Amino acid sequence: MATLYTLPAELLVRICELADRRDLWALVRTCTWLRRVGLGLYMARLGVSRAHAESGTLTLPAAHQALLIVLVGHIRPLQKLVAFRYLRWPAPTAVEFESLALAAVLAAVPSIPDVMVYNRHSNANAARTTREAVELLARMPAVTENLLLIVHGPWGALGALPAPENTTRGVILPALLWGVPLLAVVLAKNILIVLLWVWDALVGPPWPFEARLAHAYGPVEFTYWMRVQTLPARLTLVTLVDKEKPVLTIRPALKGLSASQLFAVMYALDIALHRHMQTVVVAPNAKVNYGDLDWLVRRHAGREAITLGPGSIRAASLPRAPTQNPAHRAGAAILNSPAAYVPYFLVPYAREIALAAPNGRFNAAEHDAALNAIAALPGAQPIHLSLALRPGKTVAGLPWTRLTTADAEAGAAYPRPTRVAALTLRAVGGPFRAVHLLDDTNAFTRWLTLFPGLRLLVFAPGAVELPAQKRAALEQKIRAACGDATAIMWKA
């Protein structure tokens, strides 16, 4: 007698095609043979093709379809999950249920290396977004068991490390060593409160993950998407991205990572998914490797500005010489950097360059190398150059003091950046005075002749301390050296 199991596969496929989705789901759960026949058809009803399942990437339109994570995992282990990308602000009750369903499924299935969850709430519901994100993170073993690193879009807090363990002791014990004596004095009348607090810290229950997360990072907020990536060396990277503030700041706390962990973070970080990251900031003393930063900058094609602080790049990682062809460098139209890093990040389309010296100290070799790199840039787009210098009590340590009249006339060994059309001078540690700008040799005006395309000279607020008569005399000398077309601005 013929049964359902003895029917040819072609008839079973036809039966599955005629069944509705609920009946088809009951059928594929019957046995391995029927699941093999009907699973592809059931996933197609939910918008997932066999090719998508084979690729290891799943786009989940809504959390009530979270069962797709389990089904696709039977075909091939999932490598990437994208949730709620095309879902916009559903009813709050539905959102709450869907978030719990997704969190429950992610806790039950094998760890997915790359999970991206889009925000489904308006900006007015930031608290609901935070609650759902923390609930989701708390259910993912890759987050609770690994070292956690969070990239927060609005402040770019890449580098904040979490507490060492998921217990109260991990945070409280260090505070006890320093704080208990002081608390005992301040709270002498309330010593019982102190004893109860110490007892709870030493033998109390473990600190919940949600509380530890809030203590280490603050609120988990994002207005665009959250991405959770499981990296080598037991490291989990969580990226929170906002629509309004596409800025990434790399902070010195990354020095707490091992070399392999830092390498994995820099190569996994991608803020440019479905949008552009406009600004990359590397804070002072971050000590990142040049190769890692170069790769990060290249992957974000929408970058507009790069800001590098003193000591932001590990000196040993810099190449012996920058790339000869500027078009092959990773840079941006706006570059704010110490002079030592400028040749490595200059690109032909640069329009604003700020040379910042560590503590305002002038380094002749680095300054000349930076100006040489600017002079070698192809193209004719005007460049606004800004210099931050420390005047000091004498003229020593300023770039124009090294230029003699013969050198200025010959132009030998000195770069001439023809694209520099505007020059801004900023003073660090005190304003420029007459001894710096109106000396007998007129070194300052000779130095300005190195910029033949100069049309605007700007003294930043607080950069110059000169009376009106001396300012007029300085303007006259500048125009005599650079031409009457050069405008001079004194910003208060």
Within a domain: residue 399? Answer: no
Structure tokens at 276: 């552009």
Task: Find the CATH number of the domain harbouring 1.
Answer: 1.20.1280
Give Cα separations from 64 to 54, 111, 439 (angstroms).
22, 20, 77
Within a domain: residue 307? Answer: no
Please tell me whether residues 92 and 222 are part of one structural domain: yes
Confidence tier at 93 by pLDDT (50, 70, 90): very low
Instruction: Map residue 156 onto helix, strand or coil.
Output: coil
Beta strands in 186-333 (DSSP E): 225-231, 235-241, 247-250, 279-282, 305-308
Which H/E stretch holds residue 211? helix 209-217
Query: In the predicted model, what is the mean pLDDT of residues 355-377?
Result: 83
Q: In what order do the strands lie in the sheet with 235-241?
A: 57-60, 80-83, 114-118, 225-231, 235-241, 147-152
- 254 vs 287: CA distance, rounded Å: 8
Residue 58's closest CA among 94, 102, 95, 17? Answer: 102
Residue 387's closest CA among 402, 408, 366? Answer: 366
Confidence tier at 165 by pLDDT (50, 70, 90): very low
Burial of 6-16, coded b for 16+ CB within 10 Å and e otherwise, reads eeeeeebeebb
Residues 6+ apart with CB under 8 A from 37: 9, 12, 13, 16, 28
Res 456: pLDDT? 93
Of the residues 194, 219, 245, the one at which a domain ends: 245
Confidence tier at 80 by pLDDT (50, 70, 90): confident
Residue 122 has pLDDT above 70, yes or no: no
Residue 382 has pLDDT above 90, yes or no: yes
Of the residues 245, 269, 298, the one at which a domain ends: 245
Please tell me whether residues 99 and 140 are part of one structural domain: yes
Per-residue pLDDT tens for 449-483? 889 899 999 988 888 888 888 888 888 888 888 88
Query: In the predicted model, what is the mean pLDDT of residues 121-145?
Result: 77
Confidence tier at 384 by pLDDT (50, 70, 90): very high
Per-residue pLDDT tens for 305-344? 899 988 889 888 888 888 877 777 888 899 999 999 999 9
Per-range mean pLDDT, top range of 120-129, 174-183, 186-195, 427-436 = 427-436
Domain count, the chain: 3
Instruction: Map residue 458 onto helix, strand or coil.
Output: strand
Residue 433's closest CA among 451, 456, 402, 459? Answer: 459
Within a domain: residue 423? Answer: no
Confidence tier at 43 by pLDDT (50, 70, 90): confident
Which of residues 336 and 292 earns the better pLDDT score? 336
Res 186: pLDDT? 57
Confidence tier at 385 by pLDDT (50, 70, 90): very high
Please tell me whether residues 71 and 173 are part of one structural domain: no
Residue 160 has pLDDT above 80, yes or no: no
**Cβ distance 478 to 400 under 8 Å?**
no
The angle, 0 to 180 degrees and rounded to 10, between the axes of the packed helices 191-203 and 169-186 is: 170
**Cβ distance 116 to 225 under 8 Å?**
yes
pTM comes to 0.71
Res 162: pLDDT? 47
Full domain range(s) for residue 155:
46-164+209-245
- 33 vs 49: CA distance, rounded Å: 19
